[in-house]
Chain A
Amino acid sequence: MRNRLPQLRRERHLSQEKLATMLGVSRQTIISIEKERFDPSLPLAFQIAAIFDLRIEDIFTPDAPL
């Protein structure tokens, strides 16, 4: 799954640590999502979307077209 998390985080001047704290997960989780090595759970994806005030599909896009 591809994502725009690093770009969105930089636009809002959020550190990985800060975002992790806001989401209640480890910083390693943010690192892994940004490196596209870990797909977040649906509740976590919703939380991320809510923080950036976007829809999930605005942040995450599947590797293969649906």
Chain B
Amino acid sequence: MASSWIDGDPVKSDDIVIVGASESENIGIVPDVSAMGLAIDSALRALDDAGLTPQDVDGIAGTMHPAELALQLGTRPRYVDGTNVGGCSYMLHVRHAVAALRTGMASTVVIMHGESGRSRVGVPMMSMDMTAAPGQFERIYGVAGTFSMFTLPVMAYLNKYGLDESALAEVSVAQSKWAAQQPRALRQKIVTVDDVLNSSMIAWPFRVLECCPLTDGGGSLVLTTAARAADMDLKFAPVLVAGTGELVEGAGSSFMEDLTSFRAFRESSAEAFRSAEMTVDDIDHLMIYDAYAHLPLYGLEDLGFVGKGEAAEFIKSGATSPGGSLPMNTNGGGIMYTHTGMYGMFALQEAVRQMRGTSPAQVDGVQTSFVQGVGGMFAAAGSVILRKQ
């Protein structure tokens, strides 16, 4: 096993702030806007938070074609980041933007997401690379979607800790209590363990209420230096990017080092804590990317909030629910709120809302938020720690 990358100086980011953050006007089912249209709509709204226009933008990031993004937004960026490692790419974009802003490669970076996952408006033909390792050695076995591959390691996890199907159901139950407070959530109904276990089977042990729905939506962030932010006419107090981390483990859920713990979660989060000079005790609010209900279980343990095998009981106890000690996935998560395909941007948006004090499910007194993303199917991870200024 290769040793950890965690040595040397961390990427410090105590002077980079988020001055703009917005989702597209509509999310969920949006058949009248293209994927690009959703991205640009959210970018203009995020820029408006800071009184900026496209002409003020000299850095862009996104998973869509960067040159097309630049043209559509109307900027000629001198900094471009097209990193695409799946749904956590936006966490990596934040981390890279911090480095770019600190070194003067850019002064104002816009990170954009737009996806028409449900309505498929303005979406290029999907091409699955069947010659890549997952194509040759996983997908040929009747993998119908991410729900039958991303989920595959879960029984190793449940078996190791003597857990049953209800451990997954409790994740959806807890998150539904947050979603009920979110008017923009696709699924807003509070559900019980029985509701979840009786919902239609997708890939045993996963029921439909433990799987993300497919939706449309956009979201953007605007980052700049604290010094520049001080001269801007901001609608909301800037939110500090206190720490970041990333790790790529490699494509394919069967190729992960340990089926019961995700190395990329462990190392990207450790780097974020280290660069923020924080520990789990400093975190008031948590977002863990939940394309499927097992991810918050892996995440809570791999980030160090609970011990190995303790996440299910922690969630069942109400600790992550409204009124609990560690509010988690307060937008309802990808499973309840929205999941365009690459959900990471929406986890970041909710974290910014909590720091601004503007979430419909606002938690009183939160000063810090940890946002953990996953990309591909246990392929990559990105972490961002935000702090209220």
**Is B one of A's binding partners?**
no
List residues of A whose CB falls within 8 A of some B CB: none
List residues of B whose CB falls within 8 A of some A CB: none
